[in-house]
Amino acid sequence: MKRIVIIGATSAIAHAAARLWAERGAALFLVGRNAARLEANAADLRVRGAASVMVHAMDATVDAAHATMLAAALAALGGIDVALIAHGTLPEQRECEADLARLRAEIETNGVSVCLLSQLFANHFAGQGGGTLAVIGSVAGDRGRQSNYAYGAAKGLVARFTEGLRNRVAKSGVQVLLVKPGFVDTPMTAEFEKKGLLWAQPEAVAAGILRAIEAKREVVYLPWFWRWIMLVIRHIPERIFKRLSL
Amino acid sequence: MDCWGNLPFPPPSRRRRLFDRAAPLPSSDLPLLAWGNGRSYGDVCINSGGELLQTRGLDRYLAFDAASGVLRAEAGVLLDDIIRVFLPRGWFLPVTPGTRFVTLGGALANDVHGKNHHVAGTFGRHVTRFELLRSDGSRRECSPDENAELYAATIGGLGLTGLVTWIELQLRRVPGPAIAVENRRFHGIDEFFALNAEAELTHEHVVAWIDCVASTPRGILMAGDHVDAAVAPGPTFAPTVPFTPPVSLINAASFAAFNAAYFNRPLPQCQTTHCLSYFYPLDNLLHWNRVYGRRGFYQYQCAVPKGVEREATAALLDAIRKSGQGSFLAVLKTFGDAASPGLLSYPLPGANLALDFPNGGAATLALFERLDAIVRDAGGRLYPAKDARMPGALFRAGFPRWQEFSQHVDPKFSSNFWRRISG
């Protein structure tokens, strides 16, 4: 029985992953801001076969709450095999440009708090000599673009941070997986027009996360084709890129 | 397209996706209508100019009692999901329509029926409780004992009484995924009714495919029962009709040939099969509705009461054969006496006939008028879930409790169907 902690458990991708784990009989510890929505998800996961589900309300941007959360998770599960860090927001880029306090808050939510929680779990896993840390980044972190560089910069921070962290804990047998989803059809993107072939369902992304964990991968683009799209986008010379409206 | 028949209705002004059952209804001046998975054929799921509240994001389970089989789930859960989760545990839907890609809310709102109507009645009979969110902000728990009038109005109420947030359903025990099926060919309507009456005495699920182009109606009666037997796993991959061809691939020539081949195919008298193949043959071809081309298609589904069911069914089939229209998809079964709690529930004791027709414009609508006359004279009714064109008078004649029902319609909820038949 796997023991799994999920930060941002009310996000669509996280809940889809939690359902897959529940059907395999895992014990789950769900963390999120909204206790009522966590409870609704927990009930769903219990019916779907989870061995146990506990919930813990926490605002990820409050650093002092992190250690308390980890202690509660360890008390509930008796140990942790997988930590999935999936919380985040999708800010309006234009609002971040006009409101610098908002810009800071978005970078802290999507970047800084993710790094701090990653370090916290990695320290724990290194101490116990193994475990999997899976962190949801984004293809947006691969290159800064005018349409969402506040979000992209935060996700870029997570990418570089987990890269170093992976290097740090590799010898301790800890897997650090960075997941880079493309466009995913979730409540976070509910206002977008989703007609294109590039849009994926959260269930497909979740299945990809579980496969990547099993396969001990380091970085995974989901769905797979984003790896090739981003390869092209990363290689456009900056001299040209700065004129594009991507 | 918002409806399964791919008929060209003007779009809604707005589509809003719901994810949180505890959230209030959106504040809007436009009429609201819940939209589940878009499997209703006609305009009960259309709200031109209004708002569609898309409920697929309400897909969580609330609770399951493994001893009693009572399941509580959000209204956007697909029947497919319930089967996937609960069939391996020995539970199945008490009543299932011919597709598993409908939401619980849609199954409730249309009070769907299945091949076991003669023993189990409609879906709504197995719904023990649900929550209804009204536009005045109130949340009403409805059951046969609590808010009983809203309970009766909402079962088969076409989504007009408010937003159903969760539903409690009594699942039924099954020994496993296997169904034992007996196939019998029949020639003529009398033989159908004789075989059918005999089959209903001993089998839980009974349905017939009917060849509506043969000079004497003929078909195959398929009677099934859940059995404890080893069976190959259900279908795991379903191909998709990838795009909508400009014209219907179903026409008089193609379906007459197909019907003859289907009727005369080597037919095992008994076979044991996975229940998914038995209940949902069409679910194995995703987007099959596209084969009818860009103009879409109609389904004509009617029920005619006991006593006149032979004559009326024969007259309907005769009119269809003479018209040269129709398609391969034609189903005949009888409904039993078990009454639904729903005020607008479609099934009535008697015979039930359903046929698909490519949208042939005026010729198709003219045929429907001839069929309407037969149904009206027989004291029958048309199935709103499949309808896109019945006259208001036929609806009012077929559903005599519609006025009682209309007292419970939420003032903020409406649909093209409701505006059409009550206007």
The predicted structure's pLDDT at residue B18: 95
- Comparing CA positions, the residue from A169, A180, A175, A162 lying closest to residue A221 is A180
With CB atoms and an 8 Å threshold, state whether A47 touches B21: no
| Contact status, residue B16 vs residue B26, Cβ threshold 8 Å | yes
Window from B20-34, B142-156, B232-246, B315-329 with minimum mean pLDDT? B232-246
- pLDDT over 80 (residue A229): yes
pLDDT tens, B314-361? Answer: 999 999 999 988 777 889 999 999 999 999 999 999 999 999 999 999
C-alpha distance from B299 to closest chain A C-alpha (Å): 28
Res. B120: pLDDT tops 80? yes
CB spacing of B61 vs A48 below 8 angstroms: yes
Phi, psi angles (nearest 5°) of residue A20: -65, -40
Domain A3-241, CATH number (from 3.40.50.11810, 2.60.40.420, 3.30.1340.10, 3.40.50.720): 3.40.50.720
Among the ranges given (B247-251, B280-284, B309-313, B353-357), the one the predictor scored with the smallest mean pLDDT: B247-251
What is the mean predicted confidence (pLDDT) over A3-15? 97
Closest CA in chain A for residue B66? A47
pLDDT class for B248, splitting at 50, 70, 90?
Answer: confident
> A116-125, A210-219, B229-238: which range is least confident on average?
B229-238
Q: Which two tokens stand for residue A164?
A: 């170093």
Query: Taking the CB of residue B106, how many other CB atoms lie within 10 A of it?
Result: 29
How far apart, in whole angstroms, are the C-alpha atoms of residue A196 and residue B116? 41
Residue B260 has a pLDDT of 87
- Chain A: residue whose CA lies nearest to B84: A48
Q: What's the Cα-to-Cα distance from B203 to each of A22, B17, B54, B215, B236, rounded to whole Å?
A: 37, 42, 38, 29, 28
Q: Is the pLDDT of residue A195 over 70?
A: no
Mode of pairing for the β-strands spanning B14-17 and B51-54: parallel
Q: Tell me phi and psi for residue B126, to 5 degrees.
A: -105, 0
At residue B249, the pLDDT reads 83
A179, A137 in Cβ contact below 8 A?
Answer: yes
Residue A46 to residue A26: CA distance in whole angstroms: 10
B73-110 residue pLDDT tens = 999 999 999 999 999 999 999 999 999 999 999 999 99
pLDDT of B252 over the 80 cut? no
Alpha helices in B38-130 (DSSP H): 79-86, 104-109, 117-120
**Average pLDDT of chain A, as a whole number:** 95
Q: What residue has token string 């001839």?
A: B370
Q: Which of A184-193, B42-51, B58-67 has the lowest mean pLDDT?
A: A184-193
CB B37, CB B4: distance < 8 Å: no
Per-residue pLDDT averaged across A27-49, rounded?
Answer: 97
- Using a CB-CB cut-off of 8 Å, the residues of chain B touching A23 are 85
Which DSSP string corresponds to B243-287? S--SS-S--HHHHHHHHHHHHHS---SEEEEEHHHHH-GGGGSBT
**Multiple choice CATH, B178-391, 3.40.1690.10, 1.10.357.10, 3.10.180.10, 3.30.70.2520:** 3.30.70.2520
B61 vs A: CB within 8 A: yes
Q: Which amino acid is at B390?
A: M
The closest alpha carbon to B193, from B20, B25, B341, B313, belongs to B313
Interatomic CA distance for residues A221 and A234, integer angstroms:
14
The pLDDT value recorded for residue B326 is: 77
Q: Choose the mutation target among A19, A37, A44 for the interface with B, i.e. most B CBs under 10 Å.
A: A44
Q: Measured between CB atoms, which of A37, A43, A48 is closest to B85?
A: A48
Give me A18's structure tokens.
């939690």
Residue numbers in A near B61 (CB within 8 A): 43-44, 47-48
How many other C-beta atoms are found inside a 10 Å radius of the C-beta of residue B212? Answer: 25
Average pLDDT over residues B302-307: 97
Interchain contact B17–A (C-beta under 8 A): yes
Please give the Cα distance from A78 to B34 (Å, whole number). 44
Report the percent of chain A where pLDDT is more than 70. Answer: 99
**E strand or H helix that includes residue A84:** strand A82-85
Segment B129-136 mean pLDDT: 98
State whether residue B21 sits within 8 Å of chain A by CB. Answer: yes
| Runs of H (alpha helix) within A86-148 | 93-98, 100-107, 113-128
pLDDT tens readout for residues B259-270: 888 898 888 899
User: Using alpha carbons only, what angle is made at residue A21 by residues A18 and A27, rounded to the nearest 5 degrees?
Assistant: 90
Q: Which helix (H) or strand (E) holds A153?
A: helix A149-169
Alpha-carbon span A123 to A174, nearest angstrom? 10
Closest partner residue to B61 among A23, A37, A44, by Cβ? Answer: A44
Q: Residue A211 CB: number of other CB atoms within 10 A?
A: 12
Residue A37 to residue B20, Cβ atoms within 8 A? yes
The answer to whether the CB atoms of A36 and B85 lie below 8 A apart is no
Q: Where are the domains of chain A?
A: 3-241
Q: What is the pLDDT of residue A133?
A: 98
pLDDT value of position B243: 87
Report chain A residues whose CB lies below 8 A from the CB of B22: 36-37, 40
Q: Is A83 helix (H, G, I), strand (E, B) or coil?
A: strand
Chain mean pLDDT for chain B? 94
Mean pLDDT of B280-294: 88
Using an 8 Å Cβ cutoff, are A43 and B60 in contact? Answer: yes
Residue B80 at interface with chain A, using a CB cutoff of 8 Å: no
8 Å CB contact of A47 and B17: no
Which of A41, A187, A190 lies at the smallest CB-CB distance from B60? Answer: A41
**Does B22 contact A36 at a Cβ distance shorter than 8 Å?**
yes
Q: Which long-range contacts (CB under 8 A, 24 or more apart) does B131-134 make?
A: B131/B21, B131/B164, B131/B165, B131/B166, B132/B161, B132/B162, B132/B163, B132/B164, B132/B165, B133/B24, B133/B25, B133/B162, B133/B163, B133/B164, B133/B165, B134/B161, B134/B162, B134/B410
Region A68-80: mean pLDDT is 98
Measured distance CA(A80)–CA(A59) in Å, rounded: 21
- Cα–Cα distance for residue pair A196/B22, rounded to 1 Å: 31
Half-sphere exposure (Cβ direction) of A24: Cα atoms closer than 13 Å: 13
Chain A residue set in contact with B, beta carbons under 8 Å: 23, 36-37, 40-41, 43-44, 47-49, 187, 190
Tell me, yes or no, if B56 comes closer than 8 A to chain A by beta carbon: no
The predicted pLDDT at position A191 comes to: 73
By the CB < 8 Å criterion, does B400 face chain A? Answer: no
pLDDT for residue A151: 96
How many CB pairs lie under 8 A apart between chains A and B? 31
Torsion of Cα atoms, B298 then B304 then B308 then B310, to 10°: 50
How close B389 gets to chain A, by Cα (Å)? 30
Chain A residues whose CB is inside 8 A of the B57 CB are 187
Predicted confidence at residue A194, as pLDDT, reads 61
Q: Which residues of B touch A36 (CB under 8 A)?
A: 22
Contacts of A185 in chain B (CB under 8 A): none
**ipTM value > 0.85:** yes
CA B43 – CA B163 distance, rounded (Å): 18
| pLDDT tens string B359-417 | 999 999 999 999 999 999 999 999 999 999 999 999 999 999 999 999 999 999 999 99
B25's tokens: 């209804």
Q: Do A43 and B63 touch (CB under 8 A)?
A: yes
